[in-house]
Amino acid sequence: MISPTEFKTFDFKSMGDEFSQIGVKYRIMLKADKPVIGYAVTNTQAAELQGNTLTPQYESYSDKIQWGLITPYMNLGRVTDSTKTFTVTTIAPYVFVVDARWMASDNDYKTTKPFNYELTITKITSPS
């Protein structure tokens, strides 16, 4: 479950990848009852996600995510059912974030009750 005031993280370390190596590919599948944003960042970036400057959001003038001070390595914008491949280009400890906080600034979603989501991350290749 996730609500419009929350983000949840999944540490790639739990799959045995303390540091993801260049060339490793992961398949990210994200399903949710309401639109969420999903993105891959480093452990360090994820540790700093609390402040407003690090809350991804949509502005009325744009349908693109405004990232503030974070730069994700891969992202899925406002999705309810999406699959994407993430290829590691920088050696780092990665975290995948499921983020519903953008809803708080959208009148259509800010009163949304907590809802279900499902995240599946599969390592599909390893570096040579």
Domains of the chain: 7-125 (2.60.120)
- What would the two tokens of residue 72 be? 């994700």
Q: For 77-115, how does the pLDDT look when each residue is reduced to its tens digit (9 = 90+)?
A: 899 999 999 999 999 999 999 999 988 888 889 899 999
Give the ranges where 1-124 is alpha helix by DSSP (H).
43-47
pLDDT the model gives residue 126: 75
Q: For 43-81, how does the pLDDT look when each residue is reduced to its tens digit (9 = 90+)?
A: 988 888 876 666 787 776 777 787 777 889 999 989 999
Rg (CA), the chain: 14
Average pLDDT over residues 3-12: 92
pLDDT > 90? residue 16: no
pLDDT the model gives residue 57: 75
How many Å apart are CA 120 and CA 26, to the nearest integer?
A: 10
pLDDT the model gives residue 53: 62
